[in-house]
Amino acid sequence: MPENHATPLEALLLPETPTDVHYRRNHFEYPEVGLAGWALEVTGAVERPLWLTLDEIQRLPSRELRALLECAGHRRTEYLPPVAGVQWKTGALGQARWRGASLADVLRQAGVRAGAVEVVLRGADRGPFSGEGEYAFERSLPLDKALDPDTLLAWEMNGEPLPKPHGAPLRAVVPGWYAMDSIKWLLRVEVVTEPFRGPFQELDYRFKAADDPGIGRRLARIPVSSLIVEPGEGASLRPGRIMLRGIAWGGEGGIEGVHVRLDEGEYRAARLSPPEGPYGKSAWEAECELPPGEHVVSVRARDRSGQLQPEQAEWNQRGYANNGVHRVRVRVE
């Protein structure tokens, strides 16, 4: 069975999620990929097809960035009526420090031909899709995103060699976008002149509204989001002042503000720490006076483009992109 593992919420308050507890989302069993004989194939609409060993990729200029990766199905269990899929609560996200070469440098070395529109990334993991045959897990990026210097081919995570559970020997890191595009166990990069139609692109990971009879729209950028980390859901607390802590991420231009609310009161500003890089989270904290009884604490964030977390995310047929206001219920006695 594929392994799916959420990050413990308290680990999200650290600048880097420890590698051994960083969330994992797998569609199939772990593939067997070793360095012996491994090379990255670069093919398709290119002037010079390439087979690059890991040593050759590591000789390219390297970049390091801190980026948060989030599963598109994060917080799926909050949708009502329930939606099929991995029943993620909170924790289907994690932030790491990634080092690798820009995918753009590899594409320049290969020479992208005129007419190219997308770049398909294929992983070594493969298996059945809805009973319709066996497929590799692969997705495409629009050419402009593939050529973004921050789209990485990463071989290092948190200062250590990339481990097998996170895609060794090489994986993509597509910062700012949902993590299904950050293909693990990378085998092939293919430049294409027509939109890619693979099942994990055309049929899965698409936002289909409740009344959408078609295939829906592609998911890409992570929307503005926030979480309460402390106190946790169902916590039992003493009356008086407590400190609320959590994180905010996503959106456009970084997080501008975070606000918290007790029960049906007014939202008030939390203290916001500087962002941990252009693709990282921002920590926040706020003091709150809690009288005896049962309470609901809420948090919402706003990005620099003015986008605000909705009170409730739009229900959709696959349970994706839940960035609704996060709430925890606590008891004070």
CA pair distance 43, 187, nearest whole angstrom? 11
The 3-state DSSP class for residue 3 equals coil
Q: Residue 106: its pLDDT value, please?
A: 98
Read off the pLDDT of residues 137-186 as tens digits, 9 standing for 90 and up.
999 999 999 999 999 999 999 999 999 999 999 999 999 999 999 999 99
Q: What angle do CA 92, 95, 100 make, to 5 degrees?
A: 120
73-to-33, 77, 78, 281, 294 alpha-carbon distances in Å: 27, 9, 11, 18, 29
pLDDT of amino acid 1: 77
The whole-angstrom separation of Cα 39 and Cα 36 is 9
Q: What is the mean pLDDT of residues 13-26?
A: 97
The pLDDT score that the predictor gives to residue 34 is 84
With contact defined as beta carbons under 8 Å apart, do 170 and 162 qualify?
yes
* Residue pair 100/150 in contact by the 8 Å Cβ criterion: no
Q: What is the mean pLDDT of the chain?
A: 96
What pLDDT is stored for residue 132 in this prediction? 76
Percent of the chain with pLDDT over 90: 96
The pLDDT value recorded for residue 35 is 81
How far is Cα 212 from Cα 318, in angstroms, rounded to an integer? 11
Q: Residue 47 pLDDT > 90, yes or no?
A: yes
Rounded Cα–Cα distance for residues 172 and 148 (Å): 13
Name the residue type at position 216. G
Q: With 90 as the cut, is the pLDDT of residue 37 above it?
A: no
Q: Tokens for 283?
A: 């920590």
Burial of 317 (0-12, 13-18, 19+ CB in 10 A): middle
- Residue 239's φ and ψ, nearest 5 degrees, are -65, 155
Helix (H, G, I), strand (E, B) or coil at 20: helix
pLDDT of 319 higher than 90? yes
- What does the pLDDT look like over 85-135, one tens digit per residue? 999 999 999 999 999 999 999 999 999 999 999 999 999 999 999 877 899
Domains and CATH numbers, the chain: 4-218 (3.90.420.10), 225-332 (2.60.40.650)
pLDDT at 27 over 90: yes
The pLDDT of residue 226: 98
The answer to whether 76 and 84 have CB atoms below 8 angstroms apart is no
